[in-house]
Amino acid sequence: MSGSVNLKQEQAKLEDLYQSIFPYLLQTEGHLQEVATRGKGMIPEIVEYVVQAGGKRLRPALVVLSAQLGGSQGDDAITVGAAAELIHLSTLVHDDIVDRAVLRHQKPTVAVKFGEEVAILLGDFLYVEGFSLLAGLNDPQLVDLFARTTRSICQGEINQVRRRFQLDLTLSEYLSFIDNKTATLMGASMRGGARLARLSTDQATALGHYGWNLGMAFQIIDDTLDLIGEEEVTGKTLRTDLANGKLTLPLIWLRDRLQPAEKEKFLGWLREPTCENVQGIIAWVNDSGAIKEGLRQASNFAQQAKNALHSFSDSTPKQTLNAIAQYIVTRTR
Amino acid sequence: MSGSVNLKQEQAKLEDLYQSIFPYLLQTEGHLQEVATRGKGMIPEIVEYVVQAGGKRLRPALVVLSAQLGGSQGDDAITVGAAAELIHLSTLVHDDIVDRAVLRHQKPTVAVKFGEEVAILLGDFLYVEGFSLLAGLNDPQLVDLFARTTRSICQGEINQVRRRFQLDLTLSEYLSFIDNKTATLMGASMRGGARLARLSTDQATALGHYGWNLGMAFQIIDDTLDLIGEEEVTGKTLRTDLANGKLTLPLIWLRDRLQPAEKEKFLGWLREPTCENVQGIIAWVNDSGAIKEGLRQASNFAQQAKNALHSFSDSTPKQTLNAIAQYIVTRTR
């Protein structure tokens, strides 16, 4: 979790994991690039800016691996993966406005580069492109799966925004936010792949659990990196949660363990996230073991993800999914 | 077009037009209300705020009338109409942020009432609810029809935003913006109804033309009302186009008819939309006949809309569609 880890090393690690599905991810990139060329006027330039910024492409990878686990190698997994990524990119573009972030993947956010108004509309455009891809597959249940997921994401975000600077936020509220915001889409990506492979309900449910638990682990780590990461490593604006009054797992855990006087001081710092107070908070979560607790809970979810794959026999996609669960909790960006 | 028209009278007029489809619109309201109850946390309150604010419900009316014209009376028209309205409401919520509008249907906009962040996310939620309703109908072509439409809307809006305060905007660029922003969705609403009624390609195309031309007329009038309407009648923030540097038909028409010296003065006022300059612009478009020209061109589109119905034999839905085309160009809000 320290800034000494080299960014290039980190990227190489993820590329190693993706080795078995690399041709699929390349085709996914092709799909995403195509979306840009379909736009008129100023759209291609802006879509390309978002797509070329990169990202982990975790959701497309999950769709492909889940389909492969079920024995399906078809092109539809690439389409569903691209759709999941477009929905994800759309939420990132909108979230960066909501969180007033200025940096994403080492580059200015869409809102900063092209203006907030364009960012709002571009997010809408990316949503629609995602649903448009899904609609082309002639399977209304797939559209419905991702529609329900996107509804969850919006709900999670709205409810989190409405609870900003309300420092009585409970752990279960926080877990429900990240369930809606992140875990549901990763679960849906796995379920989407399972559907393409026509897996049984039980198997699809198991793969959905893998994705959901992976998403929970992923978001807890993301929120932890927001506290202790370094911007040159993560490539995005950090400390936005503190600046936006969003309580995350390490903060909630620590708050609930403080004596009244200390707690008052801690809440005072959270209420006024000046540079000095933010530094104080970061030292406090580090020293108190709150960061460690975040990592521990993330690891638990990652373990649950792996457990969900138990009933599947050993195979390259299963090994890759296990390795991704491992990677998620050790990543530094 | 004057402020002396009574708001209640105006509402009564629209209700008269809708008389034959009133039960359908009531069920549409039920659908929209249901969306609110499906949300968790703070969502129901905010969705209800948007839905209960009212509106003309023109798009649901078009879907139902188009389906009726094709002899279909099923519930699916209500679902498609509700979806079209949700997509429309979503664009309104986002547009009001982009345009920094404070008033809509006599009430503060979502962005003003609940904050810009919530408005961004609520717009996303409404989009998804719309597509979710469509996905439930098991007809991927319907999803695709509205996905393409929504893509148009985003493109129209982005391109318009990017051309703000660029005072060389041409009439054909303006017409392309309103085609994307408004006409395409009204066309899709008619096509959606036609599809439910399983009309022939020619008949569906004709109804699509009706909707498209109606939309063009509608938006030109909307943009004209933005210049000369009164806020207590229209119920929304006016003069936002001028404040946001958006050239609309009357402004473009006038600009292209001015002598160099006058044109320079006019462009200077457009560049700096202070209260005084806005008053000057409004007097100018009124006196020069530019407003009349806007109404004339809107009437032309409304006439094209009516012409598109020629091949259909006389019936109550046809009469209603004709009356709506008439209403559109005489409305004051």
Identify the sign of the CA torsion B111, B115, B119, B122.
negative
Q: Out of A46, A135, A154, whose CB is closest to B147?
A: A135
At residue A278's C-alpha, the angle toward residues A277 and A282, to 5°, is 115
Q: Using an 8 Å Cβ cutoff, are B85 and B61 in contact?
A: no
Task: Return the amino acid letter for A148.
Answer: R
Other Cβ atoms less than 10 A from the Cβ of A212: the count is: 24
The pTM for the full model equals 0.87
Residues forming beta bridges with residue B108, ordered by sequence position: B103
The predicted model gives A40-62 an average pLDDT of 89
Taking CB atoms and an 8 Å limit, are B147 and A131 in contact across chains?
Answer: yes
**Spatial CB neighbours of A250, under 8 Å, sequence gap ≥ 6:** A223, A224, A227, A285, A290, A291, A293, A294
Please tell me the total number of residues recorded for chain A in this structure: 333
Q: Hey, of A127, A173, A181, which one would you mutate to test binding to chain B, going by the most B CBs within 10 A of its CB?
A: A127
Rounded (10°) CA dihedral B244, B248, B253, B255: 10
Taking CB atoms and an 8 Å limit, are B118 and A162 in contact across chains?
Answer: yes
Task: Return the amino acid letter for A128.
Answer: V
Q: What would the DSSP string read from start to end of B180-236?
A: IIIIHHHHHHHHHHHHHTT--HHHHHHHHHHHHHHHHHHHHHHHHHHHH--HHHH-S
Residues forming beta bridges with residue B107, ordered by sequence position: B104
More reliable by pLDDT, A14 or B208: B208
| Closest alpha carbon to B249 in B269, B271, B282, B223 | B223
Collect all residues of chain B within an 8 Å Cβ-Cβ radius of residue A245.
none
The shortest C-alpha distance from A180 to chain B (Å) reads 11
Q: What is the pLDDT of residue B12?
A: 57
Taking CB atoms and an 8 Å limit, are B135 and A120 in contact across chains?
Answer: no
What is the C-alpha to C-alpha distance for residues A168 and B267, in angstroms, rounded to an integer?
Answer: 54
**Spatial CB neighbours of B206, under 8 Å, sequence gap ≥ 6:** B308, B309, B311, B312
What is the C-alpha to C-alpha distance for residues A60 and A75, in angstroms, rounded to an integer?
Answer: 12
Identify the sign of the CA torsion B1, B4, B6, B7.
positive
| Closest alpha carbon to A183 in A218, A155, A227, A207 | A218
What is the C-alpha to C-alpha distance for residues A134 and A125, in angstroms, rounded to an integer?
Answer: 14
The shortest C-alpha distance from A323 to chain B (Å) reads 33
Which H or E run includes B103? strand B103-104
Please tell me the total number of residues recorded for chain B in this structure: 333
What is the C-alpha to C-alpha distance for residues A243 and A36, in angstroms, rounded to an integer?
Answer: 33
The predicted model gives A238-267 an average pLDDT of 92
Q: Out of A42, A122, A155, whose CB is closest to B125?
A: A155
The shortest C-alpha distance from B135 to chain A (Å) reads 5
Q: What is the pLDDT of residue B5?
A: 41
The predicted model gives A264-274 an average pLDDT of 93
The shortest C-alpha distance from A184 to chain B (Å) reads 15
Taking CB atoms and an 8 Å limit, are B128 and A120 in contact across chains?
Answer: no
Collect all residues of chain B within an 8 Å Cβ-Cβ radius of residue A148.
132
Q: In Å, how far from its chain's centre is CA A68?
A: 22
State the complex-level ipTM. 0.81
What is the C-alpha to C-alpha distance for residues A70 and A198, in angstroms, rounded to an integer?
Answer: 7
CB neighbour class for B13 (10 Å; exposed up to 12, middle 13-18, buried from 19): middle
Q: What is the pLDDT of residue B226?
A: 86
Give pLDDT tens digits for B177-231.
Answer: 999 999 999 999 999 999 999 999 999 999 999 999 999 999 999 999 888 877 7
Taking CB atoms and an 8 Å limit, are B140 and A144 in contact across chains?
Answer: no
Class of domain B7-328: mainly alpha
The predicted model gives A30-49 an average pLDDT of 87
Other Cβ atoms less than 10 A from the Cβ of A216: the count is: 25
More reliable by pLDDT, B37 or A2: B37
Q: Using an 8 Å Cβ cutoff, are A199 and A309 in contact?
A: no
Q: What is the pLDDT of residue A7?
A: 46
Q: Which residues of chain B have pLDDT under 70?
A: 1-12, 332-333
Q: Hey, of A96, A113, A131, A184, which one would you mutate to test binding to chain B, going by the most B CBs within 10 A of its CB?
A: A131
Taking CB atoms and an 8 Å limit, are B41 and A158 in contact across chains?
Answer: yes
Q: What would the DSSP string read from start to end of A97-117?
A: HHTT--EETTEE-HHHHH-HH
Domain definitions of chain B by residue range: 7-328
Q: What is the pLDDT of residue A281?
A: 94
What is the C-alpha to C-alpha distance for residues B84 and B95, in angstroms, rounded to an integer?
Answer: 16
Collect all residues of chain B within an 8 Å Cβ-Cβ radius of residue A134.
143
- Look at strands B107-108 and A103-104 and give their pairing: unpaired
Q: What percent of chain A has pLDDT over 90?
A: 62
The shortest C-alpha distance from A34 to chain B (Å) reads 14
Taking CB atoms and an 8 Å limit, are B127 and A129 in contact across chains?
Answer: no
Q: What is the pLDDT of residue B7?
A: 46
Taking CB atoms and an 8 Å limit, are B118 and A143 in contact across chains?
Answer: no
Q: Using an 8 Å Cβ cutoff, are A142 and B28 in contact?
A: no
CB neighbour class for A71 (10 Å; exposed up to 12, middle 13-18, buried from 19): exposed
Residue A11: is its pLDDT beyond 70? no
- Minimum Cα–Cα distance from B46: chain A residue: A158
- Minimum Cα–Cα distance from A139: chain B residue: B140
Taking CB atoms and an 8 Å limit, are A135 and B139 in contact across chains?
Answer: no
Taking CB atoms and an 8 Å limit, are B132 and A148 in contact across chains?
Answer: yes
Q: Using an 8 Å Cβ cutoff, are B187 and B215 in contact?
A: yes
- What are the φ and ψ backbone dihedral angles of B192, each rounded to 5 degrees? -60, -45
**Spatial CB neighbours of A272, under 8 Å, sequence gap ≥ 6:** none
Collect all residues of chain B within an 8 Å Cβ-Cβ radius of residue A121.
94, 98, 154, 157-158, 161
Q: Using an 8 Å Cβ cutoff, are A171 and A197 in contact?
A: no
- What are the φ and ψ backbone dihedral angles of B222, each rounded to 5 degrees? -55, -45
Out of A32-36, A144-148, B37-41, which region has the weakest mean confidence (pLDDT)?
B37-41
Q: What is the pLDDT of residue A9?
A: 55
Q: Hey, of A38, A88, A143, which one would you mutate to test binding to chain B, going by the most B CBs within 10 A of its CB?
A: A143
CB crowding B277-304: b at 16 or more within 10 Å, else e: bbeebbebbeebebbebbbebbbebbeb
Give pLDDT tens digits for A169-185.
Answer: 999 999 999 999 999 99
CA distances from A176 to A169, A170, A186, B59 (A): 11, 10, 15, 36
Taking CB atoms and an 8 Å limit, are B117 and A124 in contact across chains?
Answer: no
Q: Out of B46, B118, B140, whose CB is closest to A138?
A: B140
